[in-house]
Amino acid sequence: MRNHLDKSEGDLIDIKQGLGGLVDIEFLAQYLVLANSCEYPNLMEYCNNVSIFKALATLEIVSEEEKALLISTYQQLRDYGHKATLQNEALLIDKRLLTEQHKITLLWSKFL
């Protein structure tokens, strides 16, 4: 999917499809729900990523630090994405503005 949709180039990272971007965070949320809902059925009650990450932290599936990282990065990227859409700009961000991208990719490796 990333090979076909990621528009990252040079110092610009695709907000949605780039490494550590929205799709990675959203996929991680859904994966952790699916992987743990047999043991914790209440995880299936949540349909938004912020609530999912809070529930995962409450169950100690992710740490409080990981929860905070996932939520803040998700909200930051959504904010950048909304601003770009409203200004009719590409969904790209200078990689210097996205300081947590590498940490998101490490979480991806940890859980998947």
Encode pLDDT of 49-63 as tens digits.
999 999 999 999 999
Pairing of strands 92-94, 12-14: antiparallel
pLDDT for res 1: 83
Q: Which residue has the higher pLDDT, 30 or 6?
A: 30
Domain holding 94, by residue range, is: 2-111
The three-point CA angle 33-34-36 to 5° equals: 65
Condensed to tens digits (0 to 9), the pLDDT of residues 8-33 reads 898 899 999 999 999 999 999 999 99
CATH of the domain at 15: 1.20.120.330
pLDDT for res 4: 86
CA-to-CA dists, residue 37 to 12, 20, 47, 97, 110, angstroms: 36, 24, 13, 35, 19
Whole-model pTM?
0.92
How many domains does the structure of the chain reveal? 1
CB 66 within 8 A of CB 107: yes
Q: Give CA 1 to chain center in angstroms.
A: 16
Condensed to tens digits (0 to 9), the pLDDT of residues 49-105 reads 999 999 999 999 999 999 999 999 999 999 999 999 999 999 998 887 777 888 999
